[in-house]
Amino acid sequence: MASPRIWLAWRVGVFLTALAPLLFWSWQVANGAAGPEPGRYLLLNIGIGGLWMLLLTLSLTPLTKLTRWKGFALIRRQLGLWTLAYAILHMLSYALFILGLNWALLGSEIVKRPYIIVGMIALIGLAVLGATSNRWAMKRLGKRWKPLHKFSYAILGLVLLHFFWVVRADMQEWAMYAAIAALIMSTRLPPVARTLPKLRHRLSRT
């Protein structure tokens, strides 16, 4: 059994890894390596980064079932909160760098553009999950905590829809993420979920 110190190092390592892309993109912007529209560069990269965080968060439960490794469960809340952080930064990038804090424009944009509304709903959902991810809220919610946090599945759907509506010409990238999402979600189907521990036994025997 690994010592608590190693688990701490694992969690800090995950934290730094999740932070690294944000630092890298900021560094690119600061050094003029982000193209003629740095705000949009940040917006798009952080958006995709947030999708990655969400997919990683949702892959931890099946990975735990598959491997029984404790480390995956230990970073679930952290990655969930990283998803929220990326989502907030994505929204702030839009407000600051694209709208230029022109709130009047925001009003008319939101009404016209369904993908913004879908993104906002997903963000609000993530914020609710983030706010109820602490121990106190878990205790207060008791048995209702788990069904509440299953809303993350719906949020994944909303995020993919948000992304789908933005695509103009080539669906390849979107299709890739949708396929990964479908794979992760398929592990929640009862027959698949039952198979995962058996698969682990078979893997551990060989």
Partner 1 sequence: MLIKIAKPSDLHESDVTPESIYLSRRRFMGGIAGLGAGLALSGHVRANADYSDVPEGDAPAWLKEKISETQWRAITPSDPDKDKIAPFDDASGYNNFFEFGTDKGDPARHAGSLETQPWSVVIDGEVNNGGRFALEDFAKPSQFEERIYRLRCVEAWSMVIPWLGIPLADIIKRADPTSKAKYVRFETLVDPEQMRGQRSSFSIIDWPYVEGLRLDEAMHPLTILAMGMYGRELPNQNGAPLRLVVPWKYGFKSIKSIVRISLTEEQPVNSWQKIAADEYGFYANVNPNVDHPRWSQATERRLPNSLFNPNTIDTLMFNGYADEVAELYAGMDLKENY
Query: Residue from 102, 182, 188, 197 that binds partner 1 (CB under 8 A)?
Result: 102
Return the number of the residue (113 or 194) whose C-beta is nearest partner 1. Answer: 113
How many C-beta neighbours within 10 Å does residue 54 have? 27
Residue 68 phi, psi dihedral angles, 5° rounding: 60, 15
Q: Which residue's entry shows tokens 């529209």?
A: 37
- Joined together, the tokens standing for residue 118 give 């879908």
Q: Are 54 and 156 in contact (CB under 8 A)?
A: yes
- Joined together, the tokens standing for residue 56 give 């990683």
Query: Residue from 23, 105, 124, 203 that binds partner 1 (CB under 8 A)?
Result: 105
Contact call for residue 15 and partner 1 (CB under 8 A): no
Return the number of the residue (95 or 148) whose C-beta is nearest partner 1. Answer: 95
Q: Is 194 helix (H, G, I), strand (E, B) or coil?
A: helix
CB of 98 to partner 1, least distance (A): 6
- The pattern of x and - marking residues 41 through 70 that bind partner 1 according to CB under 8 A reads -x----------------------------
CB of 103 to partner 1, least distance (A): 13
Which residues, in sequence order, are CB contacts of 124 under 8 Å at separation 6+? none
* Residues near partner 1, by CB under 8 A: 29, 35-39, 42, 96-100, 102, 105, 108-109, 112-113, 115, 165, 168-173, 175
